[in-house]
Amino acid sequence: MTGTPIGDDIVAGLEASPKWLPSKYFYDGRGSALFERITRLPEYYLTRAETAILESNAESVVARCRPEELVELGSGSSRKTRLLLEAMHRSGAGSRYVALDVSDDALRAAEEALLADYAWLEFAGVVGDFHTDLAAIPRRGPRLVAFLGSTIGNLDPAERATFFPQVRDALQRGDAFLLGLDLVKDVGVLEEAYDDAAGITAEFNRNILAVLNRELDADFPIDAFDHVAVFDKVSSWIEMRLRATRDMVVTLPPLDLRVTLLAGEEIRTEISCKFTREQIEAELVSAGLGVEGWMTDGEQRFAIALAMPVGP
Ligand SMILES: C[S@@+](CC[C@H](N)C(=O)[O-])C[C@H]1O[C@@H](n2cnc3c(N)ncnc32)[C@H](O)[C@@H]1O
């Protein structure tokens, strides 16, 4: 887990009605490992679709912006990133890779795996929060910023309206932003992707409570929560929630917090927005980013947008 203190956002979330928790707290070592298992599940089409897009397009993306460095936000295992790094290496573009993630466990594992295979790679791992820490990464020349894995879906519209301009500010003319997006589709397909038959996503969801129990000496009875995943058509997002199966009082001593939950009450742990091209293009354009490329998988389940700064 990151060295960032955890607290204020948790108090805000657990005192709100309905209750919520910030999804970045899923990702301790166990949470990151569970997410990796999710990416291999038959129901979770997202990673396979995004990988297929990168397999077909990494070369042309790199040719378009010739980056000296690849900066990836929420890099996780960096598995798909290999396709971009290899394309950079083949084309003689730069060999610097800056991976920013809230999970130092994930960063350490990614660094070890990448350096074992790529002797030429210059790896820099940054434990940080992509909401606040992008501007602090020094620019070493033409750069490609990647935000893959549909992580953008975890940001609500107000958060995206702050985030995209920050990405724009981290880019200069000729730089590029590569954004992986899950597209609106059949509700059944979406809900199954977040509620798999093997129960791995349920385990991942409950892990956020294990993190709070460990980091904040909290006493959430983890087995007394059901995993819930529903598509909210109005907001166009999947909501993952944890539903209390009985009344309970939970304490988080370092935060001086006592939380009462009634049987059936839910805590929202994640949203995962589903996009249309029109919507995301409009958001990027209003942040000063023009969409120069739109790549999808054969079944149009997932898209990667290539955006570049416009204006002075
Ligand atoms: C959905 S996973 C995607 C991982 C990887 N990019 C992929 O495509 O498979 C989200 C990743 O973002 C990281 N993360 C979540 N919230 C974050 C935040 N606020 N700042 C930095 N990293 C964050 C998690 O640790 C995790 O590795």
**Cα distance between residue 101 and residue 85, in whole Å:** 18
Reported as a single tens digit per residue, the pLDDT across 42-91 is 999 999 999 999 999 999 999 999 999 999 999 999 999 999 999 999 99
Strand arrangement, sheet containing 19-20 = 19-20, 266-273, 237-244, 225-232
Per the listing, tokens 């992509």 go with 130
**Cα distance between residue 298 and residue 153, in whole Å:** 21
Which of 1, 4, 10, 24 has most ligand 1 atoms within 8 Å of its beta carbon, as the pocket-test mutant?
A: 24
Cβ-contact 19, 265 below 8 angstroms: yes
Which of 27, 129, 237 has most ligand 1 atoms within 8 Å of its beta carbon, as the pocket-test mutant?
A: 27
Cβ-contact 149, 180 below 8 angstroms: yes
Any ligand 1 atom below 6 A from CB of 76: yes
Any ligand 1 atom below 6 A from CB of 74: yes
Q: Would you list the DSSP string of 157-219?
A: HHHHHHHHHHHHHT--TT-EEEEEEEBP--HHHHHHHTS-TT-HHHHHHHHHHHHHHHHS---
Q: Would you list the DSSP string of 136-153?
A: GSPP-SSEEEEE-TTGGG
* pLDDT at residue 312, as a whole number: 66
* pLDDT at residue 199, as a whole number: 98
Give me ligand 1 centre to Cα 74, in Å.
Answer: 3
* pLDDT at residue 8, as a whole number: 84
**Cα distance between residue 161 and residue 170, in whole Å:** 15
Give me ligand 1 centre to Cα 213, in Å.
Answer: 21
Number of neighbouring beta carbons within 10 Å of residue 143: 23
CA-proximal residue: ligand 1, atom 15 (nearest): 24
Any ligand 1 atom below 6 A from CB of 148: yes
Minimal CA–CA distance to 54: which of 91, 79, 90, 89?
79
**Cα distance between residue 127 and residue 125, in whole Å:** 7
Any ligand 1 atom below 6 A from CB of 179: no
For the CA of 27, the closest atom of ligand 1 is: 25
Cβ-contact 26, 269 below 8 angstroms: yes
**Amino acid, res. 131:** H
For the CA of 74, the closest atom of ligand 1 is: 12
Which of 102, 104, 156 has most ligand 1 atoms within 8 Å of its beta carbon, as the pocket-test mutant?
A: 102
Which of 101, 147, 200 has most ligand 1 atoms within 8 Å of its beta carbon, as the pocket-test mutant?
A: 101
The residues, any chain, with a CB within 8 Å of residue 5's CB and separated by 6 or more, are none
Any ligand 1 atom below 6 A from CB of 25: no
For the CA of 75, the closest atom of ligand 1 is: 6
pLDDT in tens, the chain (312 residues): 444 456 789 999 999 999 999 999 999 999 999 999 999 999 999 999 999 999 999 999 999 999 999 999 999 999 999 999 999 999 998 999 999 999 999 999 999 999 999 999 999 999 999 999 999 999 999 999 999 999 999 999 999 999 999 999 999 999 999 999 999 999 999 999 999 999 999 999 999 999 999 999 999 999 999 999 999 999 999 999 999 999 999 999 999 999 999 999 999 999 999 999 999 999 999 999 999 999 999 999 999 999 999 976
* pLDDT at residue 90, as a whole number: 97
123: tokens are 């790896």
